[in-house]
Amino acid sequence: MSDDQRTGADDQATLGRIETEVALLMRLGEATRRATGTAEHRVLDRAAYVILRHLDAAGPQNVSALATQLNLDGSTVTRQVSALQRDGLITRGPDPADGRGTVVSPTAAGLQRMAAVRAARTRLYGDILGDWDAEDRDTLARLLRRLNEELSARNRRR
């Protein structure tokens, strides 16, 4: 086997390990959230949490822009936004850029629930990663962000 073939085989093996670990991360992350005993983890479902986190960071948006940013179908986001509005976690208001449209914004109650979930998740990961040194935690955070940025960029190109 040539060096190029060996390098190619090593790369494929590494990519296979990454695929396996990401699949496990997604499964175990959701299983951990469901199994955690504190109610704070369950005051919002995953979709509501992601929408509220995005609105908190990016500000009011129309549903179309929200769907684009979250890489979701517009009808999916419309259903989720309707449920959040029914629960008093977001409001709809006129779009300042287009008087015919509307934008959604988080309510104080929505932000409070999102902050509670975020704090609970932060504590959970603090417990899970408690034996890791600060450099390893920082490296993990940096590499996960890089992976998420690459995934997001790829989804935007499609």
pLDDT by residue (tens digit) across 30-57?
787 777 666 665 678 888 999 999 999 9
- Residue 29 sits in the same domain as residue 62: no
Instruction: For residue range 73-118, list pLDDT tens digits in order.
Output: 888 899 999 999 999 999 999 888 877 888 999 999 999 999 999 9
- Residue 89 sits in the same domain as residue 19: no
pTM over 0.85: no
- Residue 58 sits in the same domain as residue 134: yes
- Residue 2 sits in the same domain as residue 71: no
154 burial type by CB count under 10 A (0-12 exposed, 13-18 middle, 19+ buried): exposed
DSSP result, 118-148: HHHHHHHHHHHTTTS-HHHHHHHHHHHHHHH
Domain span at residue 52? Answer: 42-157
Counted domains in the chain:
2
Residue 123 has pLDDT above 70, yes or no: yes
pLDDT value of residue 40: 64
- Residue 10 sits in the same domain as residue 54: no
CA distances from 128 to 29, 57, 116, 132, 158 (A): 11, 26, 18, 9, 35
